[in-house]
C-alpha cells in the first residue's frame, strides 16, 4: 500500500496498467491525473491504515487460535480467556456499545475429556449467574466440538474402528465418544451412546418434552459453517446435516429428527428462527476471528 501511495505521488504508473492505457491515449487525461494523483494517494493511505487497524489484534489472537487448535497445549487459560474476551469485544462494541462479553472458562486441557453430562452440569453452573444478570436474555457464541485430536492419534483407523472404543460403558466416560456418530453402526450408536442420541431425540426418554420446550425458548438459532472448515466432518453437520450409511449427505430438513420434530428444530425453523449461514474460505480455527463471518452471520441478530 505504501509503495502504491508513493508511486502515485510521484505520478509513476508502472503498477497501474489501466491508468497507463488512459494516459497514453488521452492528453487531457494526463492533466486531470496531475490534479487527482495526490487525492488517490491519500485514499490508498487511508485504506492501508484501515487494514492495519483491522488486523492489529492478530498478534494478541495468536495464542487463542493455537489453544483452540490444540486444547492440550501448556498455556495460562485465564490469559487466553482474557485475550479472547477482548477480541470478541472489538466487534460487539462497535455495533452495540456497552455489550459485555464473558468467556466461560470451564473444562480446559485434559478436563475437556470428562463425560459430557458432567460438563453440561458444570457449564450450567457457570452460566447461571451470567443469565441471572440478563433477564432479557443472552447471546451464546458456541465454537466447535470435534474429534480432531483423535484423528491425529488414530489417523488410519479412527473412522472404521472408533465405534469399538466409544460404544460401550467405558468409552462413554470420555467426552468425544458422547458425540461420535458412526453412520455405519447406527444400531450400536443408538443403543450405547448416552449423549447425542438423547439430545437429538433419536432415543426416546422421559425428558424429551421438557428439553424440547427449553429448546424452543431460543429466539434465533444461527448455524455457521462452510466447506473449507477442514475439521468438522462432514462440514454440513454445522447445519444439522449428516451422512447416511453410504456417506451421502442428508441435509437438515431430510433428517429424521427434523421431520419428526423430536427436539423442536422443525418448529423453530417454521417460526423463521433458524438461520443457516454458509461461508467459504474459512478454516476451522478462524471462524471466531473472521470479521466477514461476524458481519455476515452474527451482527444483524445482536440486539
Which residues is 250 bridged to in the sheet? 242
CA 128 – CA 114 distance, rounded (Å): 21
Pairing of strands 242-243, 249-250: antiparallel
Which residues is 229 bridged to in the sheet? none
Residues labelled catalytic: 144, 229, 284
Of 220, 222, 250, 214, which is closest to residue 234 (Cα–Cα)? 250
CA 165 – CA 174 distance, rounded (Å): 10
* 163 within 8 A of 188, measured Cβ to Cβ: yes
* 212 within 8 A of 264, measured Cβ to Cβ: yes
Handedness of CA 79, 85, 91, 97 (dihedral sign): negative
* 266 within 8 A of 215, measured Cβ to Cβ: no
CA atoms lying within 13 Å on the CB side of residue 298: 20
Residue with cell 456417506: 247
Cβ contacts of 296 within 8 Å, gap of 6 or more: 277, 279
Residue 137, φ and ψ in degrees, nearest 5: 115, 170
* 222 within 8 A of 297, measured Cβ to Cβ: yes
Amino acid at each position: 500500500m505504501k509503495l502504491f501511495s508513493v508511486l502515485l505521488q510521484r505520478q509513476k504508473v508502472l503498477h497501474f496498467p489501466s491508468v497507463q492505457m488512459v494516459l497514453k491515449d488521452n492528453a487531457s487525461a494526463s492533466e486531470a491525473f496531475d490534479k487527482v494523483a495526490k487525492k488517490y494517494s491519500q485514499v490508498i493511505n487511508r485504506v492501508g491504515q484501515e487494514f492495519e487497524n483491522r488486523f492489529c489484534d492478530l498478534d494478541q489472537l495468536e495464542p487463542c487460535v493455537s489453544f483452540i487448535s490444540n486444547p492440550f497445549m501448556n498455556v495460562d487459560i485465564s490469559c487466553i480467556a482474557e485475550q479472547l474476551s477482548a477480541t470478541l469485544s472489538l466487534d460487539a462494541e462497535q455495533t452495540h456499545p456497552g455489550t459485555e462479553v464473558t468467556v466461560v472458562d470451564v473444562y480446559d486441557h485434559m478436563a475437556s475429556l470428562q463425560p459430557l453430562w458432567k460438563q453440561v452440569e458444570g457449564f450450567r453452573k457457570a452460566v447461571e449467574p451470567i443469565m441471572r444478570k440478563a433477564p432479557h436474555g443472552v447471546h451464546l457464541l458456541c465454537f466447535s466440538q470435534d474429534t480432531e485430536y483423535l484423528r491425529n492419534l488414530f489417523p488410519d483407523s479412527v473412522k472404521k474402528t472408533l465405534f469399538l472404543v466409544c460404544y460401550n460403558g467405558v468409552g462413554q466416560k470420555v467426552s468425544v465418544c458422547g458425540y461420535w456418530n458412526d453412520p455405519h453402526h447406527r444400531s450400536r450408536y443408538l443403543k450405547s451412546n448416552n449423549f447425542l442420541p438423547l439430545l437429538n431425540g433419536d432415543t426416546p426418554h422421559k425428558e424429551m418434552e421438557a428439553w424440547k420446550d427449553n429448546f424452543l425458548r431460543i429466539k434465533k438459532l444461527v448455524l455457521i459453517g462452510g466447506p473449507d472448515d477442514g475439521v468438522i466432518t462432514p462440514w454440513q453437520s454445522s447445519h444439522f446435516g449428516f451422512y447416511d450409511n453410504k456417506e451421502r449427505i442428508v441435509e437438515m430438513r431430510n433428517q429424521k429428527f427434523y421431520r419428526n420434530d423430536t427436539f423442536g428444530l422443525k418448529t423453530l425453523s417454521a417460526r423463521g428462527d433458524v438461520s443457516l449461514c454458509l461461508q467459504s474460505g474459512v478454516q476451522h480455527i478462524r471462524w471466531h476471528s473472521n470479521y466477514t463471518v461476524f458481519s455476515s452471520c452474527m451482527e444483524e441478530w445482536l440486539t
